Chains A and B, each alone.
Chain A
Amino acid sequence: MTLGGDTGFLIGVIERQKVAVEYWQQVLNERSVLFISTISINELLTHYYKRGKGDIARKLIEEILLLGNATFVPVDKEIAERSAGYRYGLGIPTVDSIVLATFVRHSCDVVLTTDGHFESAVKQDIIKVKMIQQSE
């Protein structure tokens, strides 16, 4: 399975949220590949800089790359163009539109997110989304 992991998914893995950990195990067991937008690096590091743990978070990102089946995807021309369509057409924030375009570009089977803006992509049948919630 090809997974698109949003920032909330990574936080969920770190905080041991049940659903996030289940999907993460698929990646660790090489039953799934994981795509993550480089935008999530920004959000993850900002989050941990605020908590004085930026160095550890940077190590985590480097270590994720060593898995070989997890990739951080930068914004290229195609993703930028596609994201503009989502931003305008779905009325979602720029960051969400870039993250969504990244996952669509890499034909992700499911997006793992905590962000409600992705529901508009589901309604338009653009991609499947698994909302990760604290109660699960």
Chain B
Amino acid sequence: MDAIRVCITSEGFIPIPESVRKELDLKPAQMVMLHTEPGKLIVEKPSRQQVIAELECLCNELRSGEPLEQIWAEIEAGREEER
């Protein structure tokens, strides 16, 4: 893809044009890796290992330590709430 000219916003954000998002298959709110080379800013999709590491972090944040039987019973009860 040819270089695309974009303008850094007054808040300091760099908009990523739709064509670039499509080419990299980037989704809204997706994490990307930024790094620099002399005079360049590189945007990269995370590697599988980076995705796995992020999944581990998110699981750690969500983990409650509640008794599993209690959680599962709550979900199952929700399924039986039929009118």
Residues of A within 8 A of B (CB): 7-8, 11-17, 28, 43, 46-48, 51, 53, 56-60, 62-68, 93-96, 114-117, 134
Contacts and interface: CB of A to CB of B under 8 A. Distances in A.
Which DSSP category, helix, strand, loop or mixed, fits chain A's interface? helix
A116 B67 CA distance: 18
B21 to A, nearest CB: 14
B62 A53 contact: yes
B51 A63 contact: yes
Select the residue from A14, A65, A68 with max chain B CB neighbours within 10 A: A14
Interface stretch (B6-14, B34-42, B72-80): B72-80
B68 interface: yes
Contact of A47 (B27, B67, B75, B82): B75
Contacts, number: 86
Nearest to B78: A43
Contacts of B52: 28, 67
Contacts of A59: 29, 58
B62 A62 contact: no
Contacts of B45: 66
Contact of A134 (B46, B54, B65, B67): B67
A115 B62 contact: no
A62 B78 contact: no
Contacts of B54: 63
A93 B80 contact: yes
B43 interface: no
A94 B68 CA distance: 23
